Amino acid sequence: MIIDDQLKQQTLQYLQLLESEVVFTIDVDDSDASKNLEEFIKEICDLDSRLSYVKGTLERTPAFSIDRKDHEKSGVVFAGVPLGHEYNSFILALIQVSGRAPKISDELAQSIKNIQTDYHFITYASLTCHNCPDVVQALNILSILNPHISHTMIDGAVFKDEVEAKNIMAVPVVYANDEFFLNGRSSLEAIVEKLGISDNRKYDDFTQKLYDVLVIGGGPAGISSAIYAARKGIKVALVLEHFGGQVIETLGIENIIGTPYIEGESFANALEEHLRKYDNVDVLLERQAAQVQKNGAEFNVTLDNQVILKSKTVIIATGAHWRNINVPGEQEFQTKGVAYCPHCDAPLYKNKDVAVIGGGNSGMEAAIDLANVAHHVTLFERSDKFKADDILLERARNLSNVDLLTNAQTEKITGQNHVEGLDYQQNGESGKHLTVDGVFVQIGLVPNTEWLNGDSVSVKLNDHGEIMVDKYGATNIEGLYAAGDCTDSSYKQIIISMGSGATAALGAFDYLIRD
């Protein structure tokens, strides 16, 4: 049995949304992967009489296409069994192919339908990747809405030869018409813009408003700020790339008081669900702030698409990103063996040797996670002792395929077309080399404040680039607040970020009523 009883019950509920009959065309052989795929499709078809399958020839084996019966081809293909994080992608594609419209704006749908260029997209993904479904689902929508477009999702763990031939060592990676198109998380709106189709008129309603509070950032601090501001009954705008921020890249969270354990993606979904309950918050997804300027008593916030929003106060909660080790080979081999998300990319390193750079909690968690799939893991800590919690350190030490090195500093990442090893020094002795297939960098975070340079207001930063705030979350600019990992808070924790977001919102509201 491929689909367990719980998943079957959930699927039965989704299948009530089917609009018409759907036919799967499967291409299988005698391999175990093909047997699993055929069994998967059989089990799905057994759940609803409107579903059936036939055998045919597709570009890859094993694979299956999804098409409405007696209708033109949808162009949607899954190469591999879409379980794990991709099961939702499969269910959404199935329902949308049947005729149910995707939940996108009419303007965006029309923009997609107007595309006249032929595109065949291929997404290389892994079933454990939490960044992949957004991309897969977006490209499936393009394919379903426009006959000029087709899309194939490829499970990199099944099509290893193809992945290795393209030197893909981090997912998602998307090709368009056999040319590299993008890698990493992206949204439908961002992909459509990348295809050269954009219309800023959809922002007209936002640009005509004067907000009371404008929040920049979609992580725990940003969402907390927006919710606390919204609860005051004032006009709020939230500018964000995606919900969750860095939380999305956390496999498990065990330190939210009252919630013993929750996965990062689930927590991000909960943040969005909570925020959406407030109808006085305008949400601008897949957008970044490019500039903040003060014009009298108001702020002008320029977005990355040159749209300008106006607000009485602004809360910056842009979080942080992974710190680079800044050695030769790091930039050259990104997505070719240098990675930053073990939860996303671990399946690509099955039975391979990998290195983890960083001996803090993130590095130790990465080593433990990778040890489940990799042949061997070597962790490098540049100082003489590990910074990780004792419980994580003890767990890593008990793993037979994990080596923990102290006083070890990476000097260079080596290889030809992909990572093949790294040079390092230990205890001051250079010239050491380790052969590895991948390097996971986990050495902490850098605040996302570089965009404040240039023509933005002169926000005071410390030597680490963090925004300096007082106990109310206020910066040195009147009416401008900040929260979360982009600030000089002593500790970078989810629960602390949420608290600082609430503080900044309350501080901004207090400023508004006193001004």
User: Is 351 assigned a ligand-binding role in the annotation?
Assistant: no
User: Is 366 assigned a ligand-binding role in the annotation?
Assistant: yes
User: Is 176 assigned a ligand-binding role in the annotation?
Assistant: no
Catalytic residue among 27, 132, 134, 344: 344
User: Is 484 assigned a ligand-binding role in the annotation?
Assistant: yes
User: Is 80 assigned a ligand-binding role in the annotation?
Assistant: no
User: Is 480 assigned a ligand-binding role in the annotation?
Assistant: yes
Establish whether 341 is a catalytic residue.
yes
Closest CA to 132 of 425, 357, 418, 341: 341
Establish whether 345 is a catalytic residue.
yes
Beta 63-68 vs 22-27: how paired, if at all?
Answer: antiparallel
Catalytic residue among 341, 369, 437, 486: 341
350 and 374 in contact (C-beta within 8 Å)? yes
212 and 512 in contact (C-beta within 8 Å)? yes
Q: What are phi and psi of 154, to 5 degrees?
A: -115, 125
User: Is 482 assigned a ligand-binding role in the annotation?
Assistant: yes
Establish whether 389 is a catalytic residue.
no
Residue 515 buriedness (CB in 10 A; 0-12 / 13-18 / 19+): exposed
H/E segment holding residue 498: helix 494-514
Q: How many C-beta atoms surround the C-beta of residue 489 within 10 A? A: 20
User: Is 155 assigned a ligand-binding role in the annotation?
Assistant: no
Residues 6+ apart with CB under 8 A from 118: 148, 149, 177
For residue 43 the two structure tokens come to 């089990």
Identify the bridge partners of residue 515 per DSSP, sorted by sequence position. none
CA-CA distance, 289 to 307, in Å (whole number)?
10
User: Is 515 assigned a ligand-binding role in the annotation?
Assistant: no
User: Is 444 assigned a ligand-binding role in the annotation?
Assistant: no
Residue 62: asked if its preceding bond is cis (omega within 30°), the reply is: yes
User: Is 221 assigned a ligand-binding role in the annotation?
Assistant: yes
User: Is 485 assigned a ligand-binding role in the annotation?
Assistant: yes
3-state secondary structure of 320: strand
Closest CA to 430 of 422, 438, 420: 422
User: Is 513 assigned a ligand-binding role in the annotation?
Assistant: no
User: Is 219 assigned a ligand-binding role in the annotation?
Assistant: yes
Q: What are phi and psi of 355, to 5 degrees?
A: -120, 145
User: Is 99 assigned a ligand-binding role in the annotation?
Assistant: no
113 and 145 in contact (C-beta within 8 Å)? yes
Catalytic residue among 134, 345, 369, 437: 345
User: Is 475 assigned a ligand-binding role in the annotation?
Assistant: yes
User: Is 393 assigned a ligand-binding role in the annotation?
Assistant: no
Q: Which residues are known to be catalytic?
A: 341, 344-345
> What residues are designated binding site for FAD?
212-227, 475-485
> What residues are designated binding site?
212-227, 353-367, 475-485
> What residues are designated binding site for NAD(+)?
353-367
